[in-house]
Amino acid sequence: MMGTEHPDRATPSAEREFLQDCLRGLDQRPRGLSPKYFYDARGSRLFERICALPEYYLTRTEVDIMRRHAPEMGRIIGPGALVVEPGSGSGVKIRLLLDALPAPAGYVPVEISPEPLEASVQALERDYPSLDILPVCADFTRPFGIPEGRRPVRRRLAYFPGSTLGNFPPERARELLQRLRLIAGEDGAVLLGVDLEKDPDILVPAYDDAQGVTAAFNRNVLYRMQRELGARLSPEDFAHRAIWNGAEGRMEMHLVSTGHQRIDLGGRCFRFAPGEPIVTEYSYKYTPERLETLASRAGLTTVARWTDPRGWFSVQLLRAG
């Protein structure tokens, strides 16, 4: 079991990394901030609320796919699988997979924020008392160690649901798939959730809900900068904006300055004109053909794919080769 460090009290090295990433991002044109900094304890709670919103089709669509097809996935994956889930979050979808896997060897949730990781692990330990649960608190975009459990492992399964792959530009997405392939190993597999291209009238509300939860989630990075890095800024003077960029095949989230203002951070002053954006997230949407090409470039081939009746979302089983 992991410790009880609160995510709002970052270690000095994590705080330095946060500061340097923010300074680099604010120096760019267009200015940008990494979406991984949405997630402290408050950000994780906001994201759980987003997943339950009527506009946010992604979670419920993927959960429906898992409910319908997890037994088939379990049969193909087979017994003795050690499931490694980078970016495990609240652990909702993993239960559907664990229930379908024959005699899994263990589960390794990997999460950047300690508090939601600990809460998820406690709930899973209660509900799956015979399962080896081996949590890792880490940034999954960087190398991390995989703990050894008590049971023999026949294969590893890298489980990457939620369309998180879409947060990475194509070249970095390829690198991430390569990392997942390495996690899975030679005889393992990758189970990947991806959001598919669809009408912008469906996409845009999913990132700009009527209740303003996504707007609060977007601004959370500014509140973290204020609280953890001592930044002088006014988060509410940045408006949330979500747009579909058809040329690039992605949704974009921006924080747009509503007037002349400045952010003072780390001894630097960053001035903003009215309407000037900070890009906080890209969410690429795939066609099946583009995804297959990307997977092939990462050394992976498609074993099976499952989708919902409307063709909005896809879960893919990939293997090295």
Q: Are residues 191 and 108 in the same domain?
A: yes
Residue keyed to tokens 């997230």:
281
Torsion of CA 133, 138, 140, 144, to 10 degrees: -80
Report yes or no on 29 lying in a domain. yes
* pLDDT surpassing 60 at residue 9: no
Looking at the 3D structure of the chain, how many domains does it have?
2
Please return the burial class of 140, using the count of CB atoms within 10 Å of its CB with bins 0-12, 13-18 and 19+.
buried
Report yes or no on 4 lying in a domain. no
Q: Are residues 85 and 193 in the same domain?
A: yes
Torsion of CA 62, 66, 72, 73, to 10 degrees: 70
Q: Are residues 116 and 170 in the same domain?
A: yes
Report yes or no on 134 lying in a domain. yes
Side-chain half-sphere exposure of 214, counting CA atoms within 13 A: 23
* pLDDT surpassing 90 at residue 13: no
Q: Are residues 293 and 157 in the same domain?
A: yes
With a pLDDT cut of 90, the percent of the chain lying above it is: 82
Q: Are residues 102 and 249 in the same domain?
A: no
Q: Are residues 74 and 42 in the same domain?
A: no
In this predicted model, what pLDDT tens digit does every residue of 300-318 receive, in sequence order? 999 999 999 999 999 999 9
- Residue 276 domain boundaries: 14-55+202-283
Q: Are residues 126 and 180 in the same domain?
A: yes
Report yes or no on 233 lying in a domain. yes
In the structure, what pLDDT confidence band is assigned to residue 42 with cuts at 50, 70 and 90? Answer: very high
pLDDT, residue 149, reads 86
Report yes or no on 7 lying in a domain. no
Report yes or no on 100 lying in a domain. yes
Report yes or no on 8 lying in a domain. no
* pLDDT surpassing 50 at residue 184: yes
In this predicted model, what pLDDT tens digit does every residue of 100-157 receive, in sequence order? 999 999 999 998 878 888 888 999 999 999 999 999 988 888 888 899 888 999 999 9
Q: Are residues 105 and 188 in the same domain?
A: yes
Residue whose C-alpha is closest to residue 20's, from 8, 5, 2, 33: 33
Q: Are residues 34 and 101 in the same domain?
A: no
Q: Are residues 145 and 187 in the same domain?
A: yes
Task: Report the CATH number at residue 70.
Answer: 3.40.50.150
Q: Are residues 132 and 176 in the same domain?
A: yes
Q: Are residues 116 and 228 in the same domain?
A: no
Mean pLDDT computed over 289-309: 95
Report yes or no on 36 lying in a domain. yes
